[in-house]
Amino acid sequence: MQSQISAPDSVPSDGLETRANSQEISSFKQLDLSPVMLRALKRLGYEKPSPIQAQVIPPALDGHDIIGQARTGTGKTAAFSIPILELLDPLRECRNPQALILVPTRELAEQVFQEIERLAHGCKTACTVLAGGKHMRRQMRQLQEGVQIVVGTPGRVYDHIQRRTFKTHDLWCVVLDEADRMLDIGFRPAIEKILRACPKDRQTMLLSATLAPEIQRLTKRYQVDPVHINCSSRQVSVETIEQRYFSVKKEEKFTTLVGLLTREQPRQAIIFCRTKRGTDRLHRALQTELAKIDSLAKTKLACIHGDMNQRDRDRVFGDLRSGKVGILVATDVVGRGIDVSTVSHIVNYDIPLDCDDYVHRVGRTGRMGREGIAFTFVTADEGDQLTSIELNINRLLIRDSLGSEVSEEAAATAETDVQEEPAAPKKKRLFPIKRKGNDRLARVGARRS
């Protein structure tokens, strides 16, 4: 059984609208938070809870399992991190991890870690990242020294559990952040194994942009009477993100892109491609072409995809965040976790195969209410995909076109579009687990003051 806390369908929503009582919450003080947390929030400049925060924090503090339908950019990290920080036992009382936050990518793990560090300001908190591509030994040492919160990717976390360097018996909270994406990229077996290795009376919070059937199966098997909070992604891009499409021939995509960038002069843009090879090729072609355009010649370009090593990926993210990189060419997997509020333009150079990917890509701009614009390139045989996106977001994209300003030279630089499709992981049923009674509500009395 699920408790439903979702916005009625008739209420127009931009993904930030919520049910009436959460709209009444206009201050963090109304959420019964500790003085130290209120000070940290003030220091961060968070004036009032975002809708997902207003809805998640109270039931999470009461120990309930949560299903939160929300995308990144809505403040969902703080929504699950604040209650965890509020309920943590001090390190001197428990040296084993108490909360585990599973995320799909290393980048997102770093971002969540940083947000927790900021929210934990003023209260000594031991948090660590367990993600692949980083030193195993260092992670082992940190775990040995004592950690309260672990943020990690499923593969590496399970690796530590198997080695017994990560002791799960004191875990009272597990968060599955971007659960839909974790399943998409094949982490289901690792997630299952991890959940089975965790105490059964834990609190489980699941955050997902969508409630696809496999997510629902996951919640049925691993959550107990979850409270369902719907800051749905269905209308996520409506309010502040302008969304347009270009009807293009395959061989015109590159020229159109160059023309678009020249016209738009973006403050910061992310261009999404479907494949790693396509990302590399487009990056190289753009480097050559933009160098010839006065107004864009100084713009620093970068590309990011799953084949790059962690150091390079970290560097690119750092450069994007600091504003050094003006145009980033990216694939979905790494693009999803990007939390950079200065991105002004999104270009779907390859139309996403999946509506959720569209929402996530477009959601890289217009973050926390800022303005943004997204362009999607659609070829003649991709009309169905456009329609399905429009149905999903409940909005028609505006058709855009360029005048004759597109340089013919650009066409010469264009390389063949790569249309290979990534292997989609197969979706299987999850094994059920038997749940015992839930005694975590006892924690509520022990909240820090």
Among 64, 76, 283, 443, binds ligand AMP (CB under 6 A): 76
Q: Is 97 near ligand AMP (CB under 6 A)?
A: no
Task: Select the span of 66-74, 159-167, 327-335, 421-429 touching ligand AMP (CB under 6 A).
Answer: 66-74
Stretch that binds ligand AMP, among 43-51, 58-66, 216-224, 253-261 (CB under 6 A): 43-51
3-state secondary structure of 46: coil
- The token duo for 47 is 């004036």
CA–CA separation, 231 vs 14, rounded Å?
9
Distance CA 342, CA 407 (A): 28
Cβ-based nearer residue to ligand AMP, 368 or 424: 368
When asked if residue 43 is in the footprint of ligand AMP (CB under 6 A), the reply is no
108 near 177, Cβ under 8 Å? yes
Q: Which stretch binds ligand AMP (CB under 6 A): 44-52, 167-175, 201-209, 295-303?
A: 44-52
Contacts of 365 (CB under 8 A, 6+ apart): 241, 270, 343, 344, 345, 346, 372, 373, 374
Give the binding range for ligand AMP (CB under 6 A) out of 46-54, 58-66, 225-233, 354-362: 46-54
Residue numbers 347-406 binding ligand AMP by CB under 6 A: 367-368
Minimal distance in Å, beta carbon 46 to ligand AMP? 4
Among 25, 31, 66, 78, binds ligand AMP (CB under 6 A): 78
Q: Contacting ligand AMP (CB under 6 A), which of 13, 74, 148, 153?
A: 74
What are the start-end ranges of the E strands in 231-344? 241-247, 269-272, 301-304, 327-330
Q: Does 72 bind ligand AMP (CB under 6 A)?
A: yes
Which value, in Å, is the radius of gyration of the alpha carbons in the chain?
22
Give the residue with the Cβ less far from ligand AMP, 115 or 180: 115
Site for ligand AMP in 105-144 (CB under 6 A): 115
68 binds ligand AMP (CB under 6 A): no
Residue 310 dihedral angles phi and psi, to the nearest 5°: -60, -35
Considering only 49, 59, 63, 97, the residue that binds ligand AMP (CB under 6 A) is 49
Q: Which is nearer to ligand AMP, 95 or 118 (CB)?
A: 118
Q: Given candidates 46, 158, 245, 272, which one binds ligand AMP under the rule CB under 6 A?
A: 46
Question: Which CB atom, from 41 or from 224, has the smaller least distance to ligand AMP?
Answer: 41
Name the residue among 374, 421, 381 with its Cα closest to residue 277.
421
Considering the complex, state which of residue 339 and residue 356 has its C-beta at the smaller distance from ligand AMP.
339
Q: Which of 6, 13, 22, 50 binds ligand AMP (CB under 6 A)?
A: 50
Distance, in Å, from the CA atom of 62 to the CA atom of 314, rounded to the nearest integer, reads 37
- Cβ at position 227, least distance to ligand AMP in Å: 19
- Nearest in space to 182 (alpha carbons), one of 150, 156, 217, 208: 208
Residue with tokens 């409506």: 238
Of 48-56, 160-168, 230-238, 418-426, which part binds ligand AMP (CB under 6 A)?
A: 48-56
73 binds ligand AMP (CB under 6 A): yes
Sequence-separated (6 or more) residues with CB below 8 Å from residue 160: 130, 139, 140, 143, 152, 166
Q: Which helix (H) or strand (E) holds 204?
A: strand 203-208
**Which residues have a Cβ under 8 Å from the Cβ of 112 and sit 6 or more positions away?**
77, 81, 101, 103, 151, 177
The site string for ligand AMP over 328-347 (x = CB under 6 A, - otherwise) reads -----------x-x------
Would you tell me how many other CB atoms lie within 10 Å of the CB of residue 3? 14
Of 51, 75, 278, 352, which one interacts with ligand AMP (CB under 6 A)? Answer: 75
* Binding segment toward ligand AMP, per CB under 6 A, in 29-37, 74-82, 243-251, 423-431: 74-82
Asked whether the beta carbons of 176 and 102 are under 8 A apart, the reply is yes
CA 234 to mean position of chain CA atoms: 15
Binding site for ligand AMP (CB under 6 A): 46, 49-50, 53, 72-78, 115, 339, 341, 367-368
